[in-house]
Amino acid sequence: MEVIPRVRYVAQRLLDSLDAAGARFSRRRRTLRVATRNSLCGRYRLGRLQGLADEVRRRDVPGDVVECGVYRGGSAAAIGERLLPGSSRRMWLFDVFTGMPPPGSQDPWEAWTDVGKFVSNEAIVRGTLEAAGVPVDLVRIVPGRFEDTLPDFEVPPLAFLHLDCDWYGPVKLCLQTFFEAVRPGGCIVFDDYGYWSGCRRAVDEFLAERSPGARLVRIDSTSHYVRKD
Ligand SMILES: C[S@@+](CC[C@H](N)C(=O)[O-])C[C@H]1O[C@@H](n2cnc3c(N)ncnc32)[C@H](O)[C@@H]1O
């Protein structure tokens, strides 16, 4: 190739990749706007979830995505839009949708003030996901109490696990159900670790027993994650 055509070719490739990066960036921002309007997590934490999901994609970690504690689908949208388009991954979303169930004896008394809050439904979640650019045909919503829905669930290999269900009992049950299925390089996020003492206790007990080497990394004052070795 002569010099001028070669320079033109390289410049065009550069412009194409800038275009693609710009499109990816604006998709990410649009999703973040939709997710923030439909989540209790807040913009910063949702942006960090996007970043963790991007890393899982870059590392090519195989497996599906699970979220326990969905509400209107905001955090699911942030994660799903990064991991599902163009892939064959599925996303499994578990929630009772009829309001926060009562806490247990391992949770603090303030937990009772949230009982019955965060009512939502599958149509709201689908609306959030669609608006955020998540391919909804790859999403399965499983309504019901985890205590009823998880025991019969056939757990697939997982790349990303997001636990946002606040109380000791459900967090422990979700860890017992899903932790082993997360593949090396995959990510497990505990949204309430720094806020609800029952959640922190469930995570600490579980990791001490099942994965003593796991390193908890802080996202903000409440949310933390571990990466599977
Ligand atoms: C804090 S909200 C989730 C927030 C959501 N991730 C977001 O982006 O806004 C916690 C959710 O966990 C669900 N949940 C808590 N305990 C549950 C249980 N035992 N079974 C099913 N769902 C449960 C509640 O219904 C509620 O929607």
pLDDT tens digits, 171-196 = 999 999 999 999 999 999 999 999 99
**Relative to the CA of 118, which ligand 1 atom is closest?**
27
At the topology level, CATH places domain 3-227 in: Rossmann fold (3.40.50)
**Relative to the CA of 98, which ligand 1 atom is closest?**
25
Find the radius of gyration of the CA atoms of the chain: 19
* Per-residue pLDDT, 122: 98
Q: Looking up tokens 């390193």, which residue turns up?
A: 215
| Over residues 82-98, mean pLDDT | 97
pTM of the model: 0.92
Cα of 145 to ligand 1 centre, how many Å?
A: 10
* Per-residue pLDDT, 10: 81
Contacts by 198-201, CB closer than 8 A, 24 or more apart = 198/103, 198/104, 198/106, 198/107, 198/108, 198/111, 198/166, 198/167, 198/168, 198/169, 198/171, 199/163, 199/165, 199/166, 199/167, 199/168, 199/171, 201/106, 201/168
Asked if 6 contacts 16 with a C-beta cutoff of 8 angstroms, the reply is no
Cα of 68 to ligand 1 centre, how many Å?
A: 7
**Relative to the CA of 144, which ligand 1 atom is closest?**
21
CA distance 121 to 43: 22
- Whether the CB of 101 sits within 6 Å of ligand 1: yes
Percent of the chain exceeding pLDDT 90 equals 88
- Whether the CB of 81 sits within 6 Å of ligand 1: no
Cα of 21 to ligand 1 centre, how many Å?
A: 34
